[in-house]
Amino acid sequence: MLINIFITLALLLLSFFGLQRLFTLPKNVWLLFLVQPLVMAASPVIVFIGGILATSMGADPALVTLPVTMMILGVASGAIPAALLAKNKGRRFATFTGFTLGFSGTLVAMFAALNAHFELLILASFLLGISTAFTQQLRFAAIESVSNRNEVPTVLSILMLSGIFSAFLGPEIAVTAKDWLSSPHGYAGSFLFLSGLFLLAMLLMLNFTNPEVTTSDNQGEARPLSEIIKQPIFIIAILSAAIGFALMSYLMTATPLSMHKLHSHSLNDTKWVIQSHIAAMFIPSLFTALLVKRIGLKNLMLAGTIIYAVVTVIALSGEQVMHYWWALILLGIGWNFLFLTGTSLLPQSYQASERHKVQAINDFIIFGFQAIASLMAGWILFKAGWHVVVLTGLPFIVILFVVSWFYFKKEREKTNQSSATKATALNAKQKSQVSS
290-335 per-position pLDDT tens digit: 888 899 899 999 999 999 999 999 999 999 999 999 999 999 999 9
With respect to residue 132, please indicate whether it lies within any of the assigned structural domains: yes
How would you classify residue 228: left for phi > 0, otherwise alpha for psi between -120 and 50, otherwise beta?
Answer: alpha
The segments of the chain whose pLDDT lies below 50 read 217
With respect to residue 319, please indicate whether it lies within any of the assigned structural domains: yes
Q: What is the per-residue pLDDT for 235?
A: 94
With respect to residue 214, please indicate whether it lies within any of the assigned structural domains: no
With respect to residue 435, please indicate whether it lies within any of the assigned structural domains: no
Q: Are 240 and 342 in contact (CB under 8 A)?
A: yes
Q: Are 256 and 52 in contact (CB under 8 A)?
A: yes
With respect to residue 407, please indicate whether it lies within any of the assigned structural domains: yes
pTM of the model: 0.78
Q: What is the per-residue pLDDT for 404?
A: 95
CATH assignment of the domain containing 413? 1.20.1250.20
Query: Within 10 A of 29 (CB to CB), how many other CB atoms are there?
Result: 23
Pick the closest to residue 254 from 60, 384, 386 (CA basis): 386
With respect to residue 430, please indicate whether it lies within any of the assigned structural domains: no
For residues 312 and 301, give the distance between their C-alpha atoms in angstroms, rounded to a whole number. Answer: 17
For residues 333 and 338, give the distance between their C-alpha atoms in angstroms, rounded to a whole number. Answer: 9
With respect to residue 390, please indicate whether it lies within any of the assigned structural domains: yes
Considering its fold, how many domains does the chain have in total? 1
Q: What is the per-residue pLDDT for 307?
A: 97
Domain that holds residue 252: 2-209+228-418
Q: Are 22 and 158 in contact (CB under 8 A)?
A: no
With respect to residue 298, please indicate whether it lies within any of the assigned structural domains: yes
Q: What is the per-residue pLDDT for 432?
A: 67
